[in-house]
């Protein structure tokens, strides 16, 4: 099933956006402010919202009467990799405000500057996640260490899922443990092999599920149907 983006809308007056930019700059004692500084220091809105409204972050800065700040151009690959980390950290589709603070290396403005709007950035990211051309997903053969009493399995995939594959699992199932239904975020999101790796299970989307730490440790290499829909 293809992932469908959630909708979100905002309608904020221009002067309210500009006044908040000036407020944060004054709080920091600066006559110029980057989009990242705004997002990380109590901005009421997001730099992405402001950049879209005025055409760019620098145009908004000019309208607010502040000096311009030069920002390094960030590649699409860097932005996509950052989006992967944000999605994995919060366990769901990010919204503008999720990119504020330490969870994201880049501001929302850097996404809107590259893709035009936050929505288009998300659409491009979903297309990237769903594409087949990823080196970290290349098929390989791995032989499990074994003793004389163990069955030998030749795996065609790596044991641990890539960041891209983890995001695909979250897009499909959400961030709830498939056994108890509890919402999980950050380090408590565990990606489990439904058919255990030790019993020949592969690291593919169809064989992965989200579990909380407690149930992942308790499940071990057992295999059973979950009760969640």
Nearest CA among 29, 35, 41, 28 for reference residue 58: 35
For residue 81, pLDDT beyond 90:
yes
Average pLDDT value for residue range 74-103? 89
**Tens digit of pLDDT for each residue in 188-212?**
999 999 999 888 899 999 999 999 9
Average pLDDT of every residue of the chain = 84
- The whole-angstrom separation of Cα 185 and Cα 183 is 7
- The whole-angstrom separation of Cα 47 and Cα 54 is 11
Q: Predicted confidence band at 78 (pLDDT cuts at 50, 70, 90)?
A: very high
pLDDT in the model for residue 91: 92
For residue 142, pLDDT beyond 70:
no
More confident residue, 189 or 96: 189
**Domain ranges, ordered by start, for the chain:** 14-63, 76-130, 135-219
Q: Picking from 44-48, 130-134, 137-141, 155-159, which range would have the lowest pLDDT averaged per residue?
A: 137-141
What per-residue string of b and e applies to 79-117 under the rule 16 or more CB within 10 Å gives b? Answer: bbebbbebbbbbbbbbebebbbeeebebbbbbbbbbbee
Q: Is there a contact between 107 and 36 (Cβ–Cβ < 8 Å)?
A: yes
Q: What letter does residue 176 receive in the DSSP assignment? A: B
- The whole-angstrom separation of Cα 68 and Cα 74 is 18
pLDDT in the model for residue 101: 67
Q: List all residues 6 or more positions away from 76 whose beta carbon is below 8 Å from its beta carbon.
A: 114, 124
Question: Locate tokens 């990237």: which residue?
Answer: 128
Average pLDDT value for residue range 142-159? 65
CATH topology of domain 135-219: DNA Binding (I), subunit A (1.10.30)
For residue 76, pLDDT beyond 50:
yes
**Tens digit of pLDDT for each residue in 154-166?**
888 898 999 999 9
């Amino acid at each position: 099933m293809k992932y469908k983006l959630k909708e979100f809308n905002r309608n904020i007056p221009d002067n309210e956006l500009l006044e908040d930019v000036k407020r944060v700059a004054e709080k920091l004692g600066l006559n110029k402010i980057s989009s990242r500084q705004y997002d990380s220091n109590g901005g009421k809105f997001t730099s992405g919202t402001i950049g879209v409204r005025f055409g760019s972050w620098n145009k908004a800065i000019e309208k607010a009467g502040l000096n311009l700040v030069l920002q390094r151009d960030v590649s699409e690959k860097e932005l996509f990799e950052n989006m992967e980390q944000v999605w994995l950290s919060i366990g769901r589709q990010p919204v503008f405000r999720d990119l504020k603070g330490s969870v994201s290396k880049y501001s929302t403005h850097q996404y809107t500057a590259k893709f035009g709007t936050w929505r288009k950035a998300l659409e491009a990211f979903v297309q990237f996640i769903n594409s087949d051309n990823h080196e970290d997903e290349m098929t390989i053969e791995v032989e499990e260490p074994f003793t004389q009493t163990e069955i030998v399995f030749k795996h065609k995939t790596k044991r641990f899922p890539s960041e891209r594959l983890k995001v695909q699992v979250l897009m499909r199932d959400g961030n709830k443990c498939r056994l108890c239904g509890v919402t999980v975020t950050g380090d408590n999101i565990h990606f489990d092999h439904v058919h255990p790796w030790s019993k020949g299970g592969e690291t593919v989307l169809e064989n992965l599920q989200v579990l909380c730490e407690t149930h992942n440790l308790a499940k071990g290499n057992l295999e059973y149907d979950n009760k969640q829909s």
